[in-house]
Amino acid sequence: MNKIFEVPLYPYERSDDQVATRPARHKVIVIGAGPIGLAAAIDLAQQGVEVVVLDDNDKVSFGSRAICFAKRPLEILDRLGCGQEMVDKGVEWDVGKVFFDDRQVYEFNLLPEEGHERPAFINLQQYYFEKFLVDRARELQAEGAPLDIRGRNKVLSVTDHGDYVGLLVDTPDGEYRLEADWLIACDGAGSPTRAMLGLDFVGRVFEDNFLIADVIMEADFPTERWFWFDPPFNRGQSALLHKQPDGVWRIDLQLGWDIDREEEKKPENVIPRLKAMLGEDVKFDLEWVSIYTFQCRRMEKFRHGRVIFAGDSAHQVSPFGARGANSGLQDTDNLTWKLKLVIDGLAPDTLLDSYDVERILGADENILNSSRSTDFITPKSEMSRILRDAVLDLSEHYDFARPLVNSGRLSVPCTYDGSPLNSADALTGGPERTRPGAPCPDVPLDDGFLLRALGDRFTLLTIDCDAPEEIEEGGVTVTRLALTTANDRSGLLKERYLGDAPSAVYLIRPDQHVAARRTEFNEPLLRAALRRATAQEATQ
């Protein structure tokens, strides 16, 4: 058993709030000290926003749970101060292989282009991820950041009073009350907060079950994602194999719908399945076993007054495609800078409505891709299975069939097309991938990488174009980052940000999504774009 499971990382300590004569009021309270709640709290604390995190647990999650972390979330974690720890500990991989029966039908590379600081994916157990976040939170606390994590503080009730949220909290020393200007619910798929407010999910639950087993073993399998359709060791079903750090391997086995879940989790039933896959002579130990059902669902709205939902509490997708934790990190990345502006009085609270618009778009995109993956992995009719198997057969020999194979479309960041924060695209000839609403792709610079230079502020990125070093509009400051194609030795700056345009000016949000772009600097239009990006101006 990994000792990290047993160590209280945020042990219970009695708070002064518990003996206050009236409920203490905090700027932001986060419910849930899992990875999404911790990420939200760290992001807010780094911006100087006072935040309290409440969790009825005091340890990291048992079992590896989420294991695949994509490039974009790693870039977000760089800004939170723990991306390097993730990469150093994680297992990097770019190549995936797909098998049908006992033969490989094709392979793919997730990062076919150069010029990115972070890899396409790493595999890392969720308990390490949570530990790195807790370590970062402690660093911030030591630096005096306004961050408090309270373990064994179970929220019993949540009430939105319009101008604040009231909470009743239970602890080993009894109950106490708190108030929050804003509440962020990151309390997981079974979200008690959602239930307390009488809210629910909409979407699909798929009729199938999958066994997850974390296995400790010494094996010479390459560091790749292997996915099987109808393998000899699990006929009529699917299987997945991933490598993790510390000699831990993740195995997913499709079981079907009509099963006894508790019976299937017993070691005497799990071990024969694993031996059939790995071989009778392979020695291994079980670290963790679970069974899950595909679900592709979300809340109708993520913002409910002063209560905002993020991560699994707001949306659920099937794990094939690694869209759960990765999407949750993009939720908090989208939310926190907006909440900071609202708290500071630099934007109306209608700015938070754009969180709903943008992240519901992201959730729907993930649900669509996950639903398609699920339908391909688990055909619902004999005709669907015949078609699926024909695609797999053809993919072994013909390129045209390979894009049709769907073993889980892997997580990519969402482009917020149609967002109310976007200004019209005015960069004639500009690349499609950096249009307004798009996340900024990385580019190597002489002294590092572009995303590091952008940081977590509003930035005016100029390429072969002059502009003021700093502009302030409505209390929001935009800082210029000046680049030239003369120093673009890789040619990737031109390829990813200029295209056929002779020069470019980009207004980039704190979450590194493009808000506006033009060929040349125009101060009145830039100020209008900034007002629009902060919900201070509804039209251009």
DSSP annotation string for 120-180: SEEE--HHHHHHHHHHHHHHHHHTT-SEEEEET-EEEEEEE-SSSEEEEEEETTEEEEEEE
Query: What pLDDT was estimated at residue 22?
Result: 96
Spatial distance between the Cα atoms of 441 and 451, rounded to a whole number of angstroms: 8
Amino acid at 74: L
Q: How wide is the angle at C-alpha 235 spanned by C-alphas 230 and 236, nearest 5°?
A: 65
Q: Which domains does the chain have, with CATH numbers?
A: 3-88+122-200+296-352 (3.50.50.60), 205-295 (3.30.9.10), 432-533 (3.40.30.120)
Query: What pLDDT was estimated at residue 439?
Result: 97
Q: Which residues, 6 or more positions from 240, have their beta carbon under 8 angstroms from its beta carbon?
A: 225, 226, 227, 228, 250, 251, 252, 320, 407
Query: What pLDDT was estimated at residue 5?
Result: 63
Q: Are 474 and 458 in contact (CB under 8 A)?
A: no
Spatial distance between the Cα atoms of 310 and 287, rounded to a whole number of angstroms: 29
Query: What pLDDT was estimated at residue 410?
Result: 62
CA 368 to mean position of chain CA atoms: 16
For the chain, list residues with pLDDT below 70. Answer: 1-7, 63-64, 111-112, 206-207, 318-324, 408-411, 538-540
Spatial distance between the Cα atoms of 120 and 413, rounded to a whole number of angstroms: 12
Could you tell me the pTM of the whole model?
0.93
Amino acid at 62: F
Spatial distance between the Cα atoms of 313 and 331, rounded to a whole number of angstroms: 11
Query: What pLDDT was estimated at residue 539?
Result: 40
**Listed residue (113, 290, 120) closest to 212, CA to CA:** 290
